[in-house]
Structure 1
């Protein structure tokens, strides 16, 4: 909601003057004329009536940088571990997430950590189990995380954070999680998102996650990046998604491994205003690929048909990922949703 245009002031000016000439007329000799003209009145000072309207206050959505009404997003965010197995597609509600992180898991596949705050679908899913890098990704968001379980050591890691853990099978999630009929188990655990968030309305909303420009044209990549129309990514043997710039929608459109358009359950094409590609080390610990999120490395920020080389860093578990340009200045994203691709150093990134 843009600030209202400033209106011009108006002025009302009143002017007045009167003059009269009286001449006597009799049979006698006429006396000399006597002027009876009134002295001119002083011109009053202009009276100004201001019609200026002060700019309306606004807040910024912390996960998209978009303008919202003051106090309009007081609820906590909801992060969820979203399945990306072929049997789990198309996913429910992922097209309405503020931020999506894609990470490598076992078997050369990927899964998502999707985060909703400014736009909450009726349902999201299917959700799957937690992984060792997820506490580092989700902790800066606070709020709620929904998942279907996992190895006890990973569940304990997630529970050790300040994030509320909503786990399928717990007594407190019986009313907000269920197995749907659209896919076989374990690819069918669905979350009633608004109801889950309402159960924990006392939790604080997230803090601002990235830096944002006031508008798309002033985002760092739009101003300083090189022209780019595509990005091809290799996570593993079964995960080779790609993105293409679409000027009509001013977004990057996602294509699945195999070349088919990636769509959500409602039919919407998965897209991103901001595409952030982060190269990360991935260690295999007890047969589990583990993305190392604490550290730094190379990154690209794609926006408005441009690509900007950047550096990412994350100081500790509770800190968000920080992006800086070649001069060490903070990179500002465009207002809108963001996909963060955590591409292994052993994989590849090709930007065309």
Structure 2
């Protein structure tokens, strides 16, 4: 065994070599200070996700709206289209408008509001025999200034609340404006009228809708068109021109821009022309809407041909293509042109008629 000698103050001490090695090993195994950086602790994770507000589909436009925002009735009105009635009040916010033939070869409208109720609408005129079939599927309220008693009786038999000028229940909501001459001057305080009938249910969805014009049936399966021209009689005609920048159809009557009460041109996301039969009801043209006929549906700068049908006064109008597939309109407002047999419908394509 090897010994090492260490010199102390009083002499030398013999230490075995193995002891030296053991001491050195213990010194080498002494723990070092922890050099791992500590830093600040990470903050707890907090999610910033917010649950989206629930949405619904506007029943008469097909647009997405906050859930519950349209839980109210629709308002329909028989709107004057005489030259002295223009520009009409509130047409720019309609969901759906039906243009129909009346006496003298001119037209009137059945306009329907639900997505946006204007403060005022009008001028309203008297009811016609086809109007019950038009408004019955929507329910809600119908505004008009009166009419032949037989037509009023028909309208009162529908599931629609009749708001008639000159009646006790419309004394605060119907009035004559001094901005137009009689009989083209009866307006309706629409928001106030709706507030008086809060228990009337909202309308059911009437048509199938796509997300936008590009995904509508006309744009996907139809032909590209730039103009739709229509004629109700020898004395009345109009047209719709496609505005690609705005993705809307622009309305023209008798070759003049058809403006709303704000001075802007009336527009539509969809223009639907229906070939309808018209009979003479004791001197009053009556459009027949129960049945079926040819249809031309224009959306997204294109047109698709199809068939319309309506099985009963309270059933909605159904639109299908030549294969029997339901036609989807573009989300937005719609104008219906109810073209009589003597009338016409034509289209202009980018390359010509």
TM-score above 0.5, yes or no: yes
Give 1:310's match in structure 2, choosing from 302, 306, 313. 306
2:98 paired with 1:76: no
Q: What's the offset of the Cα at 1:285?
A: 1.5
Match of 1:44 in 2: none
Which position in structure 2 is the counterpart of 1:129? Answer: 126
Q: Report if the CA contact (8 A) 2:213-2:247 is conserved.
A: no
Counting only pairs closer than 5 Å after superposition, residues 81-96 of structure 1 correspond to structure 2 as 81-96=78-93
1:223-263, CA deviations, whole angstroms, 9 ceiling, x for partnerless residues?
11101000111111222011100112110001011x11000
State the secondary structure of the residue aligned to 1:203: coil
**Superposition pairs of residues 251-270 of structure 1, within 5 angstroms:** 251-257=248-254, 259-270=255-266
Q: Which moved more, 1:177-186 or 1:26-35?
A: 26-35
SS of 2:69's partner is coil
Q: Deviations over 1:205-236 (max 9, x none)?
A: 11001111133322111111101000111111
Shift of 1:28: 3.8
Matched, 1:332 2:328: yes
Higher-strand-fraction structure: 2
Asked whether the 8 Å contact 1:251–1:271 carries over to 2, the reply is yes
| Match runs of 1:37-116 below 5 Å | 54-116=51-113
Structure 1 residues not aligned, in runs of 5+ = 1-25, 38-46
Residue 72 of structure 1 and its aligned partner are, at CA, apart by 0.6
**For residues 97-155 of structure 1, what are the alpha-carbon distances to aligned partners after superposition, in whole Å with 9 as ceiling and x for unaligned?**
01000000000000000001111111000000000000000000000000000000000
**Could you tell me how far apart the structure 2 residues matched to 1:77 and 1:212 are?**
19
The 5-angstrom pairing of residues 1-352 of structure 1 reads 28-31=19-22, 54-257=51-254, 259-352=255-348
Q: Secondary structure at the match of 1:235?
A: strand
Report deviation, 1:323. Answer: 0.3
Moved more, 53-62 or 210-219: 53-62
- Quick one: distance in 2 between partners of 1:78 and 1:248? 31
The 4+ residue runs of structure 1 with deviation greater than 2 A are 31-37, 47-57, 214-217
- Find the counterpart in structure 2 of residue 41 from structure 1: none
Contact in 2 for aligned 1:109/1:237 (Cα 8 Å): no
Once residues 298 and 73 of structure 2 are traced to their aligned partners in structure 1, the CA distance between those partners, rounded to angstroms, is: 28
Q: Please report the RMSD computed on the Cα atoms of aligned residues, expressed in angstroms.
A: 2.0
> How far did 1:310 drift?
1.1
SS at match of 2:194: helix
